[in-house]
């Protein structure tokens, strides 16, 4: 395969064609790959994207993310309120 300039005529286009993988290369790749083991990174990505629960999984993960944001915001608000009360109490 090599690169060449195209003259703009679609009739001169030559697309690459697919062909079967040579058996020795396929066997080498099969030996080197660990298809029966799911990498930790893939597991975590699937878990966080909600792919483990078909259909509703992504929506469930979105709801969990929103709940985490709400909990963080409400916790920060409560902490700030408590801090204000302590400062008022010290001034008295």
The full set of domain ranges for the chain reads 56-92
Please determine, for residue 65, whether its predicted confidence score (pLDDT) is greater than 70.
Answer: yes
**Which residues fall within 8 angstroms of residue 12, CB to CB, at 6 or more apart?**
6
In this prediction, residue 92 carries a pLDDT of: 66
Segment 43-69 shows an average pLDDT of 86
- Against a cut of 0.75, is the pTM above it? no
In this prediction, residue 1 carries a pLDDT of: 63
Please determine, for residue 36, whether its predicted confidence score (pLDDT) is greater than 80.
Answer: no
Helix, strand counts (H, E) of the chain: 3, 0
- Token pair listed for 71: 């909990």
Give the E-state strand segments of 1-92 in sequence order: none
Determine contact, residues 64/53, Cβ cutoff 8 Å: no
Give whichever of 20-24, 28-32, 40-44, 58-62 has the largest mean pLDDT: 20-24
Which of the two residues, 54 and 76, has the higher pLDDT score?
A: 76
Query: If you search the block for the tokens 């909990």, which residue do you land on?
Result: 71
């Amino acid at each position: 395969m090599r690169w060449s300039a195209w003259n703009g005529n679609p009739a001169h286009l030559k697309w690459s064609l697919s062909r079967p993988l040579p058996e020795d290369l396929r066997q080498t790749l099969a030996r080197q790959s660990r298809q029966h083991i799911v990498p930790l990174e893939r597991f975590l990505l699937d878990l966080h994207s909600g792919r483990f629960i078909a259909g509703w999984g992504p929506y469930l993960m979105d709801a969990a993310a929103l709940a985490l944001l709400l909990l963080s915001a409400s916790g920060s608000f409560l902490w700030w309120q408590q801090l204000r009360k302590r400062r008022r109490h010290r001034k008295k």
